[in-house]
């Protein structure tokens, strides 16, 4: 399951992470976002030792959405050491998303 955490500062949370962070910018009204939720659960199950999954409701945190130029939902941004290293917009099935993330994690290692 994706980690549900309260944080006071998003950048601080990214900096303190001990592994890369995959941030899912979503909205409760977004159909593709809801379809992506179980896929992100699978990502978390398979890659939990290499990756932390965090979900951010773009409607509740509009400043973060603006900062990271979120114009489509869902948008996934992969962060390493507090910096974005890749972004994906739209729905992606698990059989494509997991190998893609693994390749990005291998390249970022």
Catalytic residues: 30, 33
C-alpha distances out from residue 67 to 14, 16, 57, 79, Å: 14, 19, 14, 14
Within a 13 Å sphere around the CA of 13, how many CA atoms are in the beta-carbon half?
16
How are beta strands 21-26 and 52-57 bridged, if at all?
parallel
């Amino acid at each position: 399951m994706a980690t549900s955490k309260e944080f006071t500062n998003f950048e601080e949370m990214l900096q303190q992470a001990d592994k890369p962070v995959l941030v899912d910018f979503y909205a409760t009204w977004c159909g593709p976002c809801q379809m992506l939720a179980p896929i992100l659960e699978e990502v978390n199950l398979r890659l939990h030792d290499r990756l932390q999954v965090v979900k951010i409701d773009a409607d509740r945190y509009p400043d973060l959405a603006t900062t990271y130029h979120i114009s489509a939902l869902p948008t996934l941004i992969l962060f390493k050491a507090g910096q974005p290293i890749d972004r994906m917009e739209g729905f992606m099935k698990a059989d494509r998303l997991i190998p893609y993330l693994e390749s990005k994690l291998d390249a970022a290692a």
